Structure 1
Amino acid sequence: MGRNEDRPGAPIVIVGAYGAVGRVAAHTLTSWYPERVIVAGRDPARAREMVLSGGAARAIRVDVTDPGDIARMLDERPAVVVMCVERGNAAVARACLERGVHHVDISATAAILNEIAELDSLAVRHAATALLSVGVAPGLSNVLARHCVEALPSARSVDIDLLLGMGGAHGDDSVRWVVANLAAGNAPGRADRIRVRLRGFGVRTVHPFPFSDQYTIRDKLGLPATTRMCFDSAAATSLLFALRSARFFEAARRLRAERLITSLFSRLHFGSRRFVVQARAADAHGAAVSSTVTGLGTARATGVVTALAVRRLLTGDAAPGVRHLDELVPVGQFIDELHEYGMTVHHDPPPQDDRFGPRITTPDDPANRP
């Protein structure tokens, strides 16, 4: 187990804690660990506001692109550092692991996770854990995919379907990531869009998108996997992916207008706050199982999942090395905790025991109707 489990009073540092995700993670962790949470970032005023709001014990200024700042942050002797930004992630992870400090990263970018994955032997050598795929997708999607494959050992493929509500708060990094990947277009050879039934929204069109979970599932579970997404507004989904096909976002990137588009997206709050993340595993004979989590607010859900993962690390529930959320704890135990935070889990067909939540999904369930 990680060497930090024997230092129960050690700080919990959250980088980017004043963002949409980090704020939820900080407040949740502070409710469990008063006086231990330190918020860190480049904006001291926003960090201090977190302290005044009761979301942290202290604030420190940290620019994660500055090695000196990273060193000073680690001089606080934290038990864990949580990265809620996509900036210098691999460098921060390396610095943490070299000091035997746990590292949690909410990034959804496969290239970043691959860089951190290369630090596995370093983490093992220093008895620390780097935890990746923490959030909704990746994160809950990985957990649900593993459950489906465990429930259907004959599975030959996995599909992840994600519906994101356009209402509510959007994290700046999350919006920036979506816009950047719309600009990247649909890579040759990538799976096409399909029509699927999403709980509470009926049949919707979902489009391939480069969330890292599909690559992790292929690597860890040895099965081909594809992640697709849509928004709660069918019209907005059609428009945005039509613009992607027309290379509008690619042109905007060439014209250096991505920042403007990201700013506009960040201010869009029409639609609902609901999200759906669904995993489906199927075999060659037509047998299939699916598991779904529904809830309100992807940023809030990501912050809650991050806090739950940190709590698991602090209790020693992780072997040293680079791990993903579905490798941290048994699937059923983690899913049980989600109900306490307004998220609901559905399985089809229902499991034969109570380890995986309520037995409430059937093919003609009214919640599956438009």
Structure 2
Amino acid sequence: MKKIAIIGGYGQVGSVIVQQLIHHGKQNLLIMGRNQKKMTYFAQSLPIAIETRQIDLNQSIDDTQLADIQMVIVCLDQKKTRFIQQCQRLGIDYLDITANSIFLKKVDQLPSPFSRTLTGIGLAPGITNLAVADYLATYENTKSVDIDILLGIGDQHGQAAIDWTFSQLTSSYSLPHYQKPVSNFTIGKNATFGPRYGKKTTYNFDFADQHLLALNDSTRHYTTYLGFDVSWITKSLALLKKTKLATILKNKQVLDFLALTMRKGIIGSNEFVVKISSPQEMPSKMIVVYGKEEAKITGEIATLMVLKLLDSSVPAGNYLINELTTLNEVVTKLPRLTYEAY
């Protein structure tokens, strides 16, 4: 029986996927990654014996190392599409949890594969895309969609996710409806996150969901904004940007301190909120999604999609999550996710 390989399967999200697949009775699993010590340590903690295999996605991988694999789930960021193209050539199903917009744009431009490729299965893209699809099913004439994301500072975010988020504050990006590239965290707005959280300030942020949505639908403008449940942190980051001091977030010691603070859960909650609205046309009409423990939910959603692909006859092709499932289906199967429409 061919294996399901989880690359980075010992990390914050990857470990959840491995545990969830075991819970669902899957035993033909393979953990892959660069750090053999971490892989071995994690594998020994599992209730069943699981093989580990050392590979580095930054290096060329021989086809023979993938010969016994039917599906890979990648929980690491990549810059090149070499590995995904190799999987597509070999007929290996490929799933990726990355939120890197540059990489996902490259994937979207790849030719039709000989296998099934699914990207955007985290928070943004992922839950946000499902919520947008649900919103547009009701308000189909909407021409502008705002995606507001509120992250809990007290959540157990992984080191890679924290590094990526704060490093983005020093970069710029482009959207079809912006006349020129804009810097992250410079365009602020007030967003109402339903009765639980009320009004919070959010700022433009380069999540991949808005890019993927725009690539597949040029008739609307999509813009994603980010804020934190602890308001003074959001305001402090905006002030750093305004005073041009955000470069301190490139400092490893500063990043390590921020990561430690977030992992310890010293302040803030472990919840996140996604709000979809159209401020120009229907500011009071919105969908609000509430969830807890983003990394775990990302792993659980990835597991749901693995099981869906294994049990379905979905043909070969490049897919986004909203092409294979719905917000209602995901919320029904994940008890830590809820949503409300206003």
Picking from 243, 260, 264, the partner of 2:253 is 260
- Relative to structure 1, is the Cα distance of residues 120 and 279 closer, same or farther in structure 2, using a 3 angstrom cutoff? farther
1:69-99: per-residue Cα shift (whole Å, max 9, x none)?
A: x635412x22211111113551221111010
Q: Per-residue displacement from partner, 1:230-270 (whole Å, max 9, x unpaired)? A: 111101111122112322233664xxx2x333322221132
SS at match of 2:149: strand
CA distance in 1, matches of 2:244, 2:304: 39
Q: Which has the higher helix share?
A: 1
User: Please, which runs of 5 or more residues in structure 2 have no aligned partner?
Assistant: 175-179
The residue identity in structure 1 corresponding to 2:86 is A
Q: Which residue of 2 aligns with 1:50?
A: 42
Deviations 1:151-181 (A, max 9, x none): 1111111111111111132212211211221
2:177 aligned partner: none
Q: Deviations over 1:258-311 (max 9, x none)?
A: x33332222113221111112224674x47642222121111111111111111
Moved more, 170-179 or 223-232: 170-179
Give TM-score scaled by structure 1 length.
Answer: 0.82
1:78 aligns with 2:73: no
Name the CA distance, whole Å, in 1 between partners of 2:173 and 2:320: 26
Closer, same or farther: CA 333–295 of 1 in aligned 2, 3 Å: closer
Which of the two has greater strand per residue?
A: 2
> Match of 2:273?
276
CA contact 1:19–1:172 (8 Å) conserved in 2: no
Deviation at 1:330, TM superposition (A): 4.1
The size of the alignment, in residue pairs, is: 327
Structure 1 spans left out of the alignment, 5+ residues: 1-8, 349-370
SS in 2 for 1:160: strand
- Pair 1:344 & 2:332 matched: no
Q: Report what 1:166 is aligned to.
A: 153
* 1:275 and 1:295 in contact (8 A); partners too: yes
RMSD (CA atoms): 2.2
Give percent identity, aligned residues only.
23
Distance change (3 Å), C-alpha of 1:236 and 1:72? farther
- In the alignment, is residue 242 of structure 1 matched against residue 239 of structure 2? yes
One-letter amino acid of the counterpart of residue 264, structure 1? F
CA distance in 1, matches of 2:327, 2:304: 13
- Cα distance, 1:246–1:45 mapped onto 2, change above 3 Å: same
Partners of 2:34 and 2:125 in 1: CA distance: 26
Aligned to 2:104, the other structure's residue is in SS state: helix
What SS does the corresponding residue of 1:268 show, helix, strand or coil?
helix
Letter in 2 for 1:195: N
The yes-or-no answer on 1:198 pairing with 2:189 is no
CA distance in 2, matches of 1:117, 1:59: 30
TM-score by length of 2: 0.88
Query: Match for 1:243: what amino acid?
Result: L
Whether contact under 8 Å (2:31, 2:39) holds in the other structure is yes
Counterpart residue identity of residue 16, structure 1: G
Q: Could you say what secondary structure the match of 2:69 adopts?
A: coil
**Residues 127 and 327 of structure 2 are in contact (CA less than 8 Å); yes or no, is this contact kept in structure 1?**
no
Check if 1:62 corresponds to 2:55: yes
